[in-house]
């Protein structure tokens, strides 16, 4: 075990915009590689798992006990989901959600559309070419509002697999960190690069 001199990742909130953008780009790039290339994901989104070495300007990653394998089918379905959102293809998104387990054969059409509405909002950062400004985004509040509205529908109950929920939580955690750091990240370009370098390609 080695000691690495570092500071909490949140302290970067006072750093230059370019440095905040660079660090969040590294974190999102790592997550995409974990899901689509390594298929091994550190699933705990706690900010305390990320620290920053101010001397080397490198990230320090902690808590590998939360690492879980990502099955090939899950990885492929999430790839199709993100690609579908980027192409504004709700048919592809619906098929991906069926594969993941967010939707089922008996899901009512109104609930299917509501889930897709939430997904389109949640994947908004991936759909903007040139970068997404997390610092000016109210995305979590909008997604939360739609999610709570759907949750009030007593006729809808579809519990996705635990692995899917962990991935959802991890992406959400990085969104919140990016908002905290007011970072600008080109997730559209990062996703395309991750798909191109992964085993399945584009």
pLDDT along the chain (202 residues), means of 10: 82 95 96 95 90 90 87 96 98 97 91 94 95 96 90 76 93 96 98 84 42
Give which of 180, 179, 170 is closest to 30, Cα–Cα.
170
pTM: 0.92
Q: What is the pLDDT of residue 5?
A: 83
How long a stretch of residues is the chain? 202
Q: Which helix (H) or strand (E) holds 30?
A: helix 17-33
Q: What is the pLDDT of residue 1?
A: 61
Q: What is the pLDDT of residue 199?
A: 59
Contact 171, 82 (CB under 8 A): no
What's the chain's Rg over C-alpha atoms? Answer: 17
Residue 166: CA atoms inside 13 Å, Cβ hemisphere, count? 18
- In eight-state DSSP terms, residue 10 is G
Q: What is the pLDDT of residue 202?
A: 40
Q: What is the pLDDT of residue 160?
A: 86
Strands (E), the chain: 7-8, 40-42, 50-53, 58-61, 67-69, 132-133, 184-185
Q: What is the pLDDT of residue 201?
A: 45
């Amino acid at each position: 075990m080695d000691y690495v001199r570092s500071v909490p990742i949140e302290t970067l909130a006072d750093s230059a915009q370019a440095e905040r953008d660079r660090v969040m780009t590294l974190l999102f790039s790592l997550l995409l590689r974990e899901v689509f290339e390594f298929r091994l994901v550190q699933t705990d989104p706690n900010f305390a798992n990320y620290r920053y070495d101010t001397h080397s300007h490198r990230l320090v990653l902690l808590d590998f006990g939360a690492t879980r394998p990502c099955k090939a089918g899950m990885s492929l379905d999430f790839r199709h989901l993100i690609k579908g959102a980027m192409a504004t293809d709700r048919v592809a998104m619906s098929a991906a959600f069926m594969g993941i387990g967010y939707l089922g054969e008996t899901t009512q059409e109104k609930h299917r559309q509501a889930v897709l509405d939430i997904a389109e909002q949640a994947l908004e950062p991936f759909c903007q070419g040139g970068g997404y400004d997390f610092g000016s985004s109210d995305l979590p509040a909008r997604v939360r509002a739609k999610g709570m509205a759907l949750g009030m529908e007593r006729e809808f109950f579809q519990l996705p697999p635990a692995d899917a929920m962990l991935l959802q939580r991890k992406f959400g955690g990085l969104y919140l960190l990016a908002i905290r750091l007011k970072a600008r990240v080109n997730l559209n370009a990062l996703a395309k690069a991750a798909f191109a370098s992964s085993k399945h390609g584009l």
